[in-house]
Amino acid sequence: MKKQGIVTLAAMMALSMGLSGCGGDGNNTKNATGNAAAKTDNAQAESTTGAGGSGKAEKLVFWTFVDAHQKFMESMADSWNQSHPDKQIELEGTTIPYDDMHTKLLIALQSGVGAPDLVDIEQSKFPNFMKGTPQLVSLNDILEPELGNIVKSRVEIYSKDSTYYGIDYHVGATVMYYNKELLDQAGLNADDIKTWADFETAGKTMLEKTGKPMITFEGNGNWSWWPAISQQGSDQVDKDGNVTVDTPVNVQTMQFFQKLVKEGVAAVAPGAGHDTEEYFGYMDSESAASVFMPFWFMGRFTDHMPDLKGKMIIRPMPAWTEGGNRSAGMGGTATSITNQAKNPELLKEFLSYAKLSKEGNIQIWKQLGFDPIRTDVWNDPAMKESNKYTDYFGTDIFDTLLSVKDEIAPVNIREISPKVFDAIRNEAIPMIFIDMADPAVALKKVQDSLK
Amino acid sequence: MQQQINREPALASKPRNRLANSQHLAPYLFVLPFIISFLLFFAYPLINAIIMSFQSVLPGEVTFVGLDNYRELWNTDFADALYNSSRYTLFTLLLLIPIPLLLAVMLNSKKMPFSNFFRSTLFIPALTSVVVAGVVFRMIFGELDGALMNSFLHLFGISSQRWLYSSELSMFALLVLASWRWIGINILYFLSALQNIPSDLYEAADIDGAGTTTKFMRITVPLLKPITVYVLTISIYGGYAMFTESYMLWAGKPSPQNIGLTIVGYIYQQGFQYFNLGFGSAIGVTLLGITLAVSMLQLILTGMFNKEE
Amino acid sequence: METVQRKKFTASSWLLLVLFAILAVLMLFPLYALFLASLKPASELFRYGLNVRLDFDVMSLDNYRSIFTGKGEAGHYFEWYSNSVIITVLFTLLSLLLSSMVGYGLGMYRFKGRNLIFTLVLIVMMIPVEIILLPLYKLTVSLKLINTVWGVILPFMVAPLPIFFFRQFALGLPKDFMDAGRIDGCTEFGIFFRIMVPLMAPAYGAITILQAMNSWNNFLWPLIVLRTTDKFTLPIGLASFVTPLGSNYEALIAGAVLAILPILILFLFFQRYFIEGLTVGGVKG
């Protein structure tokens, strides 16, 4: 009987070798850890050398964590193929759960095998991929000619030592989403709210007339405080990567927001964040009159808050001082090319087409509902064409955006940023908005814990 | 499975090499699949992980840093994680050993009506994946008034709670989730062992006039010892390895003030979310040390290493 | 499936019945709530949380329809389903055979190195998989197992937990059967397959459902090994419905219900074997 066991095992081993079927992955025992020279020939890693790759179309593997991004890239590949018959590509997109996609990518890049050619990397994860020697391809030659046409900070956040490694989908301009119906009930006009002081006054009227809070803040997230400090030229981390969470401006901003909560003018979002099921239900049933979130949050309204259709309007954020900035660029996802890509030159051309060209940027609005990084398309007639966003918010969306175009300060994302974001989200903000601790104390505590 | 097992005896009756079947060699052949699997798939990764725990591992830049990673363990996050994991483990041991044992004994009792039906029912939650269970329980413990737990509280005139924002309440939620998923499994373990207790032992005890409690303490408990030790060991390990439950309960976001941070969660955070693989490995090796030490101690104390003949 | 002897319905039987009825309701309640949620639009869920309100006006099969008509990722659902089935069946059969052998060997025989091997089993069981992910990935790549079913199955096939369980179970097996077998001229493996395997039937029952369940729900390792959408398993596919940038809750909830179904059917179908045990022959020596 003993042979039975051994034979079974051996047979399975043999079988498994035979079944693995990826003929091309010959050079795979590469040891990425240490030998930088080995990197270049890793470029032929198995991902791109799949069976039958010798045909005309170049096979490109693309990973993302957003289904809609995959569809967008696929559609761009289709139109690329129509206009570039000599450079056919076959884009193979895969959507993988968010955290897991980044984990998988880290492992593939660290081990030197199995990475995709093209990949989406979310902004707060990006610094991880800048550690050590970045395993991504420099995009300088496609970006430099376009720097004048795009919002530069949207590629600078994905750079290291003046080498650019990623291109964002959008600007992420933070805007105010007002529920016009509720404002009307309280006799308020969104266009009269110029500063945060105006906003507080309006909020008190709202509370008095309707009993509802004017606005909600995230109790376990970054999207309320960060845009507000960014408006004032402050940030969580400075240019050199020093933690600056407890600067006077940052503390005062938090104190002001906490005061609004104490007054009842603001509420902490149910689910403690704006991107939660609880908040969608709360907002959809008209429980608060406004919220400020980046531009990409539009999609949450259209998809998860159907009852507010036609009631919401988009306006600039209130400024902190007369004439101050009325927006902030928040969040984002970069598309990068990995150094395991077999044909980086072709990929760069395609990436430039998909994310830097006018056509691409117009499609980013049409398909994804994002504010594209090329601001010269913002007043293109295509932006007023009817789609699910204009049906929901009206056709003046880009008028608002154009009015704040030059009021978007860059944000600093450095190696320590993921830790800072987590500490703010998990430590400071719950302390301030849930336990109602003094913001000065809470922010100081986080500052100290981050050295 | 059935067929496979039943088919084997026929093969076994063929003539065999005598040496290979000797009582001395046979045990090694029995354990051979594990040895092969260990050498092939675990020896290298395990050693590699231990080496990484002394390194700073960055893309293209791996450097030896001595004990730095282990020194770094002395921080409040790790302390939080260790505290949460230990507390969770302790509570799951207290809940998930005695209760399933008693329930299994009841289910095995002749007096139990519809025993098979209940055995199946209690097991069904175990079939759900942690991912699904996490989603369901996150909503059950949602903060809205209409969420299940809150509407349950309302029956007693208690107001809605923010379950996932307090250390105690969220630990309660985790334990409810753990009990829901694991009671059925542990019952199954105990039942399989109970079924192998010869019924004549109980019959003999009946003749001697032993009561239910006496029979339970004198026959059932001692004979269940190997399985109880097994359940205890895997519960210790399972408690310290808990991560997905808390990950899903907070929807993949870090929990406020680390109230849901577990040791494995900390490995995941440091290793993959901050890309600090060296430090992650150091946490992992430490965790392995802790669980292994606790389990070994417990196995030695229960005599499970020196098998009594 | 019920074979209750009505005559023995005593007071304690009633007590047990009530106790277990309450327990059963508690255990099934979350799944019932999930099932109800799968029939409602997501906005209902957002507003009221997971609840058990029966509101036939908002209930429909739309969520399921969206999976079956295959919009986007949801369209891969059946591919993921069949991948999960293949992996689960292979993994369960192999790990059952191999780990019962190892566990039996460790439990029944006294031999040099036994404690060492048992310790190694415990170590393999307790290694946090996160820290060996990178080296194990490299290894799997060099064995050319990436993006294959075998890459998912092989590394964890000789599973430590079942080995440990079979070892503990074997500790309780009667040694005299072994001697009797030897006298009858059985080989050591003959004794195992002819005498001991039937005796361990309840253990096989328990481990079958356990391994099947683990394999069906396994997430992290398949995620790392499998690279293309068509190779994904169900849990990976389901998780990709929830992304921070726009989630498809309807598909997630309906998908979750459908994910439980096959393993539930398997379980109900075979529950007689799993639960009642396969007490063939007897230990009544």
For B106-174, what is the HEC assignment? Answer: HHHCCCCCCHHHHHHHHHHHHHCCHHHHHHHHHHHCCCCCCCHHHHHHHHCCCCCCCHHHCHHHHHHHH
Structure confidence by residue, pLDDT tens digits, A277-334: 889 989 999 999 999 999 999 988 998 899 999 999 999 999 999 999 999 999 999 9
Same fold, A9-171+331-393 and A174-328+416-450: yes
pLDDT band at C4 (very low <50, low <70, confident <90, very high): very low
Can you give the pLDDT of all 309 residues of chain B as single tens digits? 333 434 344 444 444 455 555 778 889 999 999 999 999 999 999 999 999 999 998 887 889 999 999 999 999 899 999 999 999 999 999 999 999 999 999 988 888 888 888 888 888 898 888 877 887 888 888 888 878 888 889 999 998 888 888 889 999 999 999 999 999 999 988 988 888 788 888 888 888 888 888 888 888 888 888 889 999 999 999 999 999 889 888 877 788 888 999 999 999 999 988 888 999 999 999 999 999 999 999 888 888 776 543
Interface check for C9 against chain B (CB to CB < 8 A): the answer is: yes
Residue C111 shares a structural domain with residue C244: yes
- Please tell me the total number of residues recorded for chain A in this structure: 451
**Contact flag C94-A122 (C-beta cutoff 8 Å):** no
Give the CA distances from residue B160 to residues A212, B147, B151, C90, in Å, rounded to whole numbers and listed in that order. 20, 9, 8, 47
Pick from A65, A111, A284: CB nearest C137 = A111
**Nearest of C1, C220, C189, C204 to residue B131 by alpha carbon:** C220
More reliable by pLDDT, B215 or A75: A75
CATH classification at residue C261:
1.10.3720.10
Whether residue C264 sits in one domain with residue C210: yes
CA separation (Å) from C243 to A65, A66, C39?
7, 6, 22
**Contact residues on chain A for B254, CB-CB shorter than 8 A:** 422, 425-426
Angle (CA) B6-B8-B11 rounded to 5° is 135
Nearest to B59 among A102, A131, A430 (CB): A131
Instruction: State whether residue B206 sits within 8 Å of chain A by CB.
Output: no
pLDDT digits (tens, 9 = 90+) for C140-199: 999 999 999 999 999 999 999 999 999 988 888 888 888 888 888 888 888 898 888 888
How many Cβ atoms are within 10 Å of B303's Cβ, its own excluded? 11
Which token pair is A390? 């204009």
Chain C contact probe: residue of A277, A284, A285, A302 with most C CBs at under 10 A: A277
Provide the shortest C-alpha distance from residue B9 to chain C (in Å): 5
Radius of gyration of chain A (CA): 24
- CA distances (Å), origin B109, targets B115, C19, C197, C285: 8, 14, 25, 22
A118-169 pLDDT, tens digit each:
999 999 899 999 988 899 999 999 999 999 999 988 999 999 989 999 999 9
Residues C98 and C211 in one domain: yes
Q: C189 and C106: one domain?
A: yes
Could you tell me if residue B61 is left (phi over 0), alpha (psi between -120 and 50 degrees) or otherwise beta?
Answer: beta
Q: Which of A30, A220, A223, A287 is the best residue to mutate to test the B interface, defined by the most B CB atoms within 10 Å of its own CB?
A: A220
Last residue of a domain, one of C15, C44, C69: C69
When pLDDT is cut at 50, 70 and 90, the band that residue C275 belongs to is low
Kind of pairing, strands A159-160 and A163-164?
A: antiparallel
Helix axes C129-142, A98-111, angle to 10 degrees: 50
Distance from C-alpha of B104 to C-alpha of A15, rounded to nearest angstrom? 42
Domain identity same for C28 and C103 = no
Answer whether residue A176 shows pLDDT above 90: yes
Q: Which domain holds residue C34?
A: 2-69
Are B106 and C16 inside 8 Å of each other by CB? Answer: yes
Question: Is the confidence at residue A55, as pLDDT, over 70?
Answer: no
CB contact under 8 A, B256 and A271: no
Of B139, B144, B275, nearest to A106 by CB-CB distance is B275
Stated pTM of the model: 0.85
Answer yes or no: CATH 1.10.3720.10 is held by domain B75-301.
yes
- Say if the Cβ atoms of C239 and A22 lie within 8 Å: no
Listing DSSP states for A285-297 in one string gives TT-SSEEEEEGGG
| Inter-chain CB proximity B45 and C130 less than 8 Å | no
The percentage of residues in chain C with a pLDDT greater than 70, rounded to a whole number, is 85
* Residues paired with residue A217 on neighbouring β-strands, in sequence order: A268
Of 3.30.465.10, 3.40.50.720, 3.30.530.20, 3.40.190.10, the CATH number of A9-171+331-393 is 3.40.190.10
State the Cα–Cα distance between residues A100 and C233, nearest whole angstrom: 14
CA distance B8 to C265: 28
Which one of C41, C69, C97 terminates a domain? Answer: C69
Residue A185: name the closest of A165, A160, A205 by CA: A205
d(CA C128, CA B267): 9
Chain B residues touching residue A109 (CB < 8 angstroms): 59
Residue C14: count other Cβ atoms within 10 Å of its Cβ: 12
Question: Can you tell me the distance from the alpha carbon of C140 to that of C150, in angstroms, rounded to the nearest whole number?
Answer: 10
Distance CA C11, CA A136 (A): 73
Terminal Cα-to-Cα distance of chain A (whole angstroms)? 64
Q: pLDDT at position A23, please?
A: 30
Token pair 């399975």: residue = A12
Point out the residue among B29, B165, B269 whose CB comes nearest to the CB of A434. B165
Distance between alpha carbon B107 and the CA centroid of its chain, in Å?
22
Nearest partner of A68 among A393, A363, A304, A384, judged by Cα: A363
Question: Looking at the structure, do residues C144 and C209 belong to the same domain, yes or no?
Answer: yes
Where residue C274 falls among pLDDT bands split at 50, 70, 90?
low
pLDDT at residue B69, as a whole number: 94
Judge: A68–C245 Cβ closer than 8 Å, yes or no: yes
Nearest to A1 among B11, B162, B273 (CB): B11
- Provide the residue ranges of all domains of chain A, joining segments of one domain with +: 9-171+331-393, 174-328+416-450
Report the domain count for chain C.
2
In this complex, do B188 and C209 lie within 8 Å of one another by their Cβ atoms? Answer: yes
Kindly state whether B62 is in contact with chain A, defined as any CB-CB distance less than 8 angstroms. Answer: yes
- Listed range (A44-48, A204-208, A233-237, C51-55) with the worst mean pLDDT: A44-48
Q: How many whole angstroms from its chain centre is CA B201?
A: 31
More confident residue, C77 or B55: B55
Both tokens of C62, joined, read 């739309």
Q: How far apart are CA A199 and CA A205, in angstroms?
A: 10
Position C259 scores a pLDDT of 81
Question: What's the pLDDT score for residue A35?
Answer: 38
Alpha-carbon distances of B153 from A318, B25, B147, B150, B158, rounded to whole Å? 41, 63, 10, 5, 5
To which residue do tokens 């105006």 refer?
A198
Higher pLDDT, B228 or A5: B228
For residue C1, pLDDT beyond 60: no
Mean pLDDT taken over chain A: 86
- Rounded-to-integer distance, Cα B31 and Cα B38, Å: 11
Chains that touch B (3 or more CB pairs under 8 A): A, C
**C146 and C18 part of one domain:** no
Q: Which residues of B touch C97 (CB under 8 A)?
A: 4
- Count B/C contacts: CB-CB distance under 8 Å: 353
* Amino acid letter, residue B21: N
A284: three-class secondary structure by DSSP: helix
Q: Å from C276 to nearest chain A CA?
A: 29
Contact residues for A416 (Cβ-Cβ < 8 A; gap 6+) = A127, A237, A241, A243, A450
Split at pLDDT 50, 70, 90, the class of A19 is very low
Residue C272 has what pLDDT? 67
Chain-chain contact of B111 with C8 (C-beta, under 8 angstroms): yes
Chain C residues with CB under 8 Å of A298 CB are: none
**C131, C141, C249, C264, best to mutate vs chain B, most B CBs in 10 Å:** C131
**pLDDT of C76 over the 50 cut:** yes
Q: Which residues of chain B make contact with A415, given a CB cutoff of 8 A?
A: none
Q: CA nearest B75 in A: which residue? A: A449
What's the CATH code, domain A174-328+416-450? 3.40.190.10
Q: Which of A19-28, A185-194, C69-78 has the highest mean pLDDT?
A: A185-194
State the ipTM, two decimals.
0.83
Comparison of pLDDT for A35 and A422, the residue scoring more: A422
Mean pLDDT of A242-250: 95
Residue A342: helix, strand or coil by DSSP?
A: coil
CA distance A374 to A148: 9
